[in-house]
Structure formats: C-alpha cells, structure tokens
Amino acid sequence: MSAEELAPLRAELGGLLPDGFNELDDPQALLLTQALRRARERRASGLDESVEDALTLVPALTREPVRRMLFR
C-alpha cells in the first residue's frame, strides 16, 4: 500500500506505523482503522461515564463548581 492509503491508519495511531503494516491491503487497513476508532470512542465514553459517576459522590450543591474546576 502507498503511504497515502495508509494515512488514516497512521493518523488513528498517532505516528509511525509498526513494521508489517505496509503489507495490509485496503480492506484490512480500513477494518483496522475503524476498529481502532471504535475502541478509542468506547474508552472515551467509558471515561465520561466514570467521571459522572464519581461526581455523584460530591455534594449536589458543589458538583457544578467542582466540574468547572476539573474540566475548564
């Protein structure tokens, strides 16, 4: 595959591709790129849920100020 065809995968990984990734064909590279993107989205979603769950431990009147302090 050309470097241009692997650009979305390189962008998803955030840098250089590991050895052997140049041997992927188009469908394989696309599948891997989509799988990495979905995994990253699930992890971000899980992190957001965890933060919201943790904020339930903070007294209700102080949740918004605490949220603003933590997530400006």
Mean pLDDT, range 39-46, rounded to an integer? 91
Closest CA to 31 of 20, 39, 43: 39
Residue with tokens 């998803």: 12
What are the tokens at 44? 């971000």
2 vs 65 pLDDT, higher one: 65
Per-residue pLDDT, 63: 92
What 3-state class would DSSP assign to 60?
helix
Residue type at 4?
A: E
Residues 6+ apart with CB under 8 A from 13: 36
pTM: 0.66
